Chains A and B, each alone.
Chain A
Amino acid sequence: MMKQALKTRSAKVVAFGLSLLPLGWLAAIGPDGWGANPVELFNRFLGDWALRFLLITLAVSPFARIFRLSALLRYRRMLGLFAFFYACLHLLSYLVFDQFFDWGAIWKDIVKRQFITVGMLAFLALIPLAVTSWTRIRRRMPTQLWLKLHRGIYFITGAVVLHYFMMIKADYLLASLHGAILIILLLLRMRPAPRAMATA
């Protein structure tokens, strides 16, 4: 049942809609809900969701394996692209709202502030992944190369968690939570060989 439902077009549309919910929420609360410092709120909120979508994307394969729902794998690309989408908005919010195209200050930030350096590198590293997720490009690439490239998402997510940690002043609780989820997902990835799975 579930497997069939996941394969329908409408299920994908629902997933697409759900993925837009954070952005919808941000729009819905409006200027009143944005509070005293909307720029800070936008930066953090969009960054949080870029990271969360990276984690959700990484969670898809272990989830599909554990619950034997291979149909879930069809959602990986969309979820990954949503991570890229929120990362773009996060970066735009920084460039436009926070710095208002003050390229001098932005360049100084990137070079001097290590947490921004790390964040910017993670973003740049995401671009080739987003571009090669295009079916046409993917088909033209050797499979091994494509897989290698896309395994980079683990490093990127690690860098994003680091970027999060580096900007904190005192309370590491939320960042640690995201970091712990990443570690769990990595451990799930280090599964025993497929043979063991078959007998499980």
Chain B
Amino acid sequence: MLIKVRKPWELREQDVTSQQLYVNRRQVIAGLGIAGAAAALPVSALAGAFDGAIKTDWGKDELPTSLKDITSYNNFYEFGTDKGDPKKYAHKLTTDPWSIKISGECAKPGTYALEDILKGQDVEERIYRLRCVEAWSMVVPWNGIQLSEILKKFEPTSKAKYVSFKTLYRPKEMWGQRRNFIDWPYEEGLRMDEAMHPLTMAAIGIYGDTIPNQNGAPIRLVVPWKYGFKSIKSIVEIEFTEKEPRTSWNIRLPREYGFYANVNPTVDHPRWSQAKERRIGDFFRTPTKMFNGYASEVASLYDGMDLRSFY
């Protein structure tokens, strides 16, 4: 009779992780987090947990740009002005811990840890077109939260007519900030109704995973009907203001970049036409749509405004 003696390294069938468990491990881990101490879990521990994000109809007919292109072609001057620079240098950025200072016209100012801000929020997946002022565009599957859900928490007062945002200033990790071609830190702003608009989003993920540093980790703005530079990255300050806030590109080149920066094919940039755009991955240019194709949602915000003077 032959008795097979199993060596310690010989695994049996029952030792194998079931394929189902293996495939769904991210949801399982995320599930454990939610069932257990979700609140105590740092954001980074949920990496990849957006697989379970609530799907929305936004952009369901769009073909998303490849993750490789989205993460290797970036305008994030804090890491250098070449579009390949952010991918090369953004790994130096530490995003944990992360807090955001809330100030201005609201009932609950203060400095909040990012996980406290995100606590209890539903993460959605929305596929949005992103149109850069430089006449190229992408389609990005964002994971994030409707910005209004976040802003509401701080109870803006009736005096809050605008919201201003600031990017992190940390030249040690963001070498582009060592040279002053922009008056750092980067600042952006929205009118209150734009900020509270259901399309406006705070993104924390791309393609179901934690947002890469070069795309604005750990939290960035996404305003799909405006040129990309409005969608400020790596936010550390939010201020509710009565007056229109300063914005970095407007300070740098006021004739070229206005406060509104709505995508508009009929108003050219002084140095190039905005009538068409090159979708990354395409050879031919495609016509640019008014408000980047979101006119039915947002055109009413600008009723009666001359979009030529409020560019």
Q: Does B22 contact A (CB under 8 A)?
A: no
Q: Does B179 contact A (CB under 8 A)?
A: yes
Interface string of B152-182 (1 = CB under 8 A from A): 0000000000000000000000000001011
Q: Which of B247-288 contact A (CB under 8 A)?
A: 252-253, 268, 271-273, 275-276, 278, 280-281, 283-285
A109-B272 contact given A170-B252, A172-B181, CB 8 Å threshold: yes
C-alpha spacing A1/B281, complex, angstroms? 53
Instruction: Pick the interface stretch among A12-20, A36-44, A54-62, A192-200.
Output: A36-44
Task: Please provide the 3 A-B residue pairs with the shortest distance between their CB atoms, ordered closest to farther.
Answer: A36-B73, A36-B69, A171-B81
A100-B284 contact given A109-B272, A169-B253, CB 8 Å threshold: yes
- Label chain B's interface by main secondary structure: loop
List of B residues within 8 angstroms of A184 by Cβ: none
Q: Which of A37-88 contact B (CB under 8 A)?
A: 37, 39-40
C-alpha spacing A35/B275, complex, angstroms? 24
C-alpha spacing A167/B283, complex, angstroms? 22
A39-B182 contact given A113-B271, A113-B272, A170-B252, CB 8 Å threshold: no
List of A residues within 8 angstroms of B136 by Cβ: 37, 40
Q: Are A171 and B179 neighbours in the complex by a CB distance under 8 Å?
A: yes
Q: Does B88 contact A (CB under 8 A)?
A: no
List of A residues within 8 angstroms of B285 by Cβ: 99-100, 102
List of A residues within 8 angstroms of B252 by Cβ: 169-170
Q: Are A170 and B77 neighbours in the complex by a CB distance under 8 Å?
A: yes
A37-B179 contact given A166-B271, A170-B252, CB 8 Å threshold: no
Partner among B68, B72, B77 whose Cβ is within 8 Å of the Cβ of A171 = B77
Q: Does B33 contact A (CB under 8 A)?
A: no
Besides the known contacts A37-B73, A105-B276, A170-B252, 9 further A-B residue pairs in the complex with CB atoms under 8 A apart = A35-B83, A36-B73, A37-B280, A100-B283, A100-B284, A112-B268, A115-B271, A169-B253, A170-B182
C-alpha spacing A36/B139, complex, angstroms? 13
Q: How large is the interface on A (under 10, 10 to 19, 20 to 34, 35 or more residues)?
A: 20 to 34
Q: Which of A103-131 contact B (CB under 8 A)?
A: 105, 108-109, 112-115
Q: Does A173 contact B (CB under 8 A)?
A: yes
Q: Are B271 and A170 neighbours in the complex by a CB distance under 8 Å?
A: no
C-alpha spacing A113/B270, complex, angstroms? 7
List of A residues within 8 angstroms of B72 by Cβ: 35-36
C-alpha spacing A172/B182, complex, angstroms? 11
A-B contact pairs, 10 of them (CB 8 A): A36-B65, A36-B69, A36-B280, A37-B73, A37-B83, A109-B272, A169-B252, A169-B253, A171-B77, A173-B181
C-alpha spacing A36/B182, complex, angstroms? 25
List of A residues within 8 angstroms of B65 by Cβ: 36
List of A residues within 8 angstroms of B69 by Cβ: 35-36
List of B residues within 8 angstroms of A35 by Cβ: 69, 72-73, 83-84
User: How far is the CB of A50 from the nearest CB of chain B, in Å?
Assistant: 19
Question: Which residue among A37, A39, A166 has the maximum number of chain B CB atoms within 10 Å of its CB?
Answer: A37
List of B residues within 8 angstroms of A171 by Cβ: 77, 81, 179, 181
C-alpha spacing A102/B284, complex, angstroms? 11
Interface string of A143-184 (1 = CB under 8 A from B): 000000000000000000000001101111100000000000
Question: Which residue among B252, B268, B271, B283 has the maximum number of chain A CB atoms within 10 Å of its CB?
Answer: B271
C-alpha spacing A40/B280, complex, angstroms? 11
C-alpha spacing A105/B280, complex, angstroms? 20
C-alpha spacing A172/B281, complex, angstroms? 29
List of A residues within 8 angstroms of B181 by Cβ: 170-173
C-alpha spacing A100/B285, complex, angstroms? 9
User: How far is the CB of B271 from the nearest CB of chain A, in Å?
Assistant: 6
User: How far is the CB of A176 from the nearest CB of chain B, in Å?
Assistant: 11
List of B residues within 8 angstroms of A169 by Cβ: 252-253
List of A residues within 8 angstroms of B83 by Cβ: 35-37, 40
